[in-house]
């Protein structure tokens, strides 16, 4: 039977500024650019974000391919460290304004809706050095200035805005698990930075709505329903705490206007509360989102932790949970991630049942594979049948959810053109379009031609 989607279903792809543009002409260094220069050893094959897809120079080519494939929208991000010349006032850089204007106009002319995100892990490094990044509320205020500048400059044409991509992933890496600069391990910093990011988000939503532009604003989060190993109380508690610290920490305040009581109680119990005022809580309450983007790659299986914390240890959320590897699970061996498409259905049902069936879309989903050149045919096209299968299976579950009333409006593959990634550089390839690292030339993969057909037919057999 045909798996059919509505004619207005939003078929798109997602990338980000820091992973696709390259560093040319930027007035400020971002966290990742700085950190790469300082400690290249941490990066896969010592490759940094200087060139990436070179989309700063080659965006017209990208947009032409989007048009050829019939893709309806494209999420990328406006880099704070590119757009803003004066970080304190929010005054923009002229070259950057010209670049983003042209990029956006090019997409619109091609019938591709630009979806603009404002943060993809890329704080200007000066704000880390000067203020300690998002641990400091002043940085949240500066973010709102940056966001307001972006809305004012481009809000007449950009109709879908996103404040942050996966804020928890950023905060976890920076303040809990030591893989993002400044590599602190401190749960207090983690909860405060998350809260301050929430303030930056809510302040931006408020600023956007005040401008009365004709468009919508949301946030991109993980909403991974954790799957407990068993129904015993330890495993269930593990799932609950994981859920509070990684999913509900943003979903609840962004959609419902307030934190879950259980989350606040845990912070209290472990003495890692954040500092807040009642005005700020009002701001959060009054500025919930218009829609949600959810990124999904692999399920989160959890169990009660094997080890007990030492009495002198500083509290870490994972006192409560460990990862659990399902025996005989299906793996994407390249990325080391489990393949489990049903979770996309569980996410959809969770949004429907627990978050008022708010409008949402899959803002990232995809399969990272190494050395895809192996799969080239005689014409030079990468035959990525594994990716087609992966996407198909996820779309089947998504479609079932939509049949059952989920308000899911679209599906964005990560990614469009294979791009650079944080500490993995070009190891994991995700795109509908491949990137030649010597020439930066783009070639459509088999999955690209496949999605073109899917879009043209509103579905697949």
| Residues annotated catalytic, as ranges | 166, 364
* Least Å from the CB of residue 424 to ligand BGP: 5
Confirm or reject binding of residue 335 to ligand BGP (CB under 6 A): yes
Other residues' Cβ atoms within 10 Å of the Cβ of residue 9: 21
Q: Which of 9, 11, 16, 345 binds ligand BGP (CB under 6 A)?
A: 16
Q: Which is closer to ligand BGP, CB of 166 or CB of 280? A: 166
Confirm or reject binding of residue 77 to ligand BGP (CB under 6 A): no
* Least Å from the CB of residue 157 to ligand BGP: 25
Other residues' Cβ atoms within 10 Å of the Cβ of residue 324: 18
Cα–Cα distance, 227 to 361 (Å, whole number)? 22
Which span sits near ligand BGP by CB under 6 A: 29-37, 186-194, 230-238, 421-429?
Answer: 421-429
Confirm or reject binding of residue 368 to ligand BGP (CB under 6 A): yes
Cα–Cα distance, 311 to 305 (Å, whole number)? 15
Which span sits near ligand BGP by CB under 6 A: 90-98, 261-269, 394-402, 419-427?
Answer: 419-427
Q: Pick out residues in 122-181 that bind ligand BGP (CB under 6 A).
A: 165-166, 169
The site string for ligand BGP over 222-241 (x = CB under 6 A, - otherwise) reads --------------------
Which span sits near ligand BGP by CB under 6 A: 96-104, 179-187, 416-424, 437-445?
Answer: 416-424
What is the number of the residue whose Cβ is closest to ligand BGP?
421
Q: Which is closer to ligand BGP, CB of 295 or CB of 399? A: 295
Confirm or reject binding of residue 316 to ligand BGP (CB under 6 A): no
Cα–Cα distance, 92 to 73 (Å, whole number)? 25
Other residues' Cβ atoms within 10 Å of the Cβ of residue 156: 12
Give residue for tokens 């400044």. Answer: 182
* Least Å from the CB of residue 18 to ligand BGP: 9
* Least Å from the CB of residue 275 to ligand BGP: 28
* Least Å from the CB of residue 1 to ligand BGP: 32
Q: Which of 23, 52, 421, 447 binds ligand BGP (CB under 6 A)?
A: 421
* Least Å from the CB of residue 301 to ligand BGP: 18
Confirm or reject binding of residue 317 to ligand BGP (CB under 6 A): no
Q: Which is closer to ligand BGP, CB of 367 or CB of 402? A: 367
* Least Å from the CB of residue 201 to ligand BGP: 16
Q: Which of 424, 440, 443, 452 binds ligand BGP (CB under 6 A)?
A: 424
Can you give the binding site for ligand BGP, defined by CB under 6 A?
A: 16, 19, 165-166, 169, 295, 335, 364, 368, 414, 421-422, 424, 428
């Amino acid at each position: 039977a045909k798996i059919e989607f509505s004619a207005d279903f939003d078929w798109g792809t997602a990338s980000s500024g820091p992973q696709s543009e390259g560093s040319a002409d930027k007035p400020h260094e971002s966290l990742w650019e700085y950190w790469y220069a300082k400690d290249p050893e941490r990066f896969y094959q010592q490759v940094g974000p200087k060139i990436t897809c070179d989309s700063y120079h080659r965006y017209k080519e990208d947009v032409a391919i989007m048009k050829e494939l019939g893709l309806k929208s494209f999420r990328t991000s406006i880099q704070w460290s590119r757009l803003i010349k004066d970080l304190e006032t929010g005054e923009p850089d002229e070259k950057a304004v010209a670049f983003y204007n042209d990029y956006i106009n090019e997409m619109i002319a091609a019938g591709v809706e630009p979806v603009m995100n404002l943060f993809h892990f890329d704080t200007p490094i000066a704000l880390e050095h000067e203020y300690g990044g998002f641990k400091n509320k002043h940085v949240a205020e500066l973010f709102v200035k940056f966001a307001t500048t972006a809305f004012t400059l481009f809000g007449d044409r950009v109709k879908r805005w996103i404040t942050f991509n996966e804020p928890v992933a950023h905060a976890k890496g920076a303040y809990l698990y030591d893989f993002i600069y400044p590599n602190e391990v401190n749960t207090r910093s983690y909860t405060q930075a998350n809260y301050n990011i929430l303030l930056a988000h809510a302040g931006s939503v408020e600023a956007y709505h005040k401008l009365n532009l004709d468009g919508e604003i949301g946030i991109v989060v993980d909403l991974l329903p954790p799957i407990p190993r068993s129904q015993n109380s330890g495993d269930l508690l593990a799932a609950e705490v994981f859920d509070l610290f990684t999913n509900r920490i943003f979903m609840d305040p962004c959609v419902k206007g307030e934190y879950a009581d259980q989350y606040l109680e845990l912070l209290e119990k472990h003495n890692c509360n954040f500092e807040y005022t009642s005005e700020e809580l009002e701001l959060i309450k009054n500025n919930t989102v218009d829609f949600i983007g959810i990124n999904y790659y692999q399920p989160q299986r959890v169990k009660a932790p094997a080890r007990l914390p030492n009495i002198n240890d500083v509290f870490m959320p994972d006192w409560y949970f460990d990862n659990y590897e399902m025996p005989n699970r299906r793996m994407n061996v390249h990325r080391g991630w489990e393949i489990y498409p049903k979770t996309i259905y569980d996410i959809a049902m969770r949004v429907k049942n627990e978050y008022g069936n708010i409008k949402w879309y899959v803002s990232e989903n995809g399969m990272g594979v190494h050395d895809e050149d192996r799969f080239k045919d005689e014409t030079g096209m990468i035959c990525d049948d594994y990716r087609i299968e992966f996407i198909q299976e996820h779309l089947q579950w998504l479609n079932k959810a939509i049949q059952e009333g989920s308000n899911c409006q679209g599906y964005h593959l990560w990614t469009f053109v294979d791009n650079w990634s944080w500490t993995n550089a070009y190891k994991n390839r995700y795109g509908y379009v491949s990137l030649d690292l010597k020439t930066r030339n783009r070639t459509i993969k088999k999955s690209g031609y496949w999605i073109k057909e899917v879009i043209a037919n509103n579905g697949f057999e």
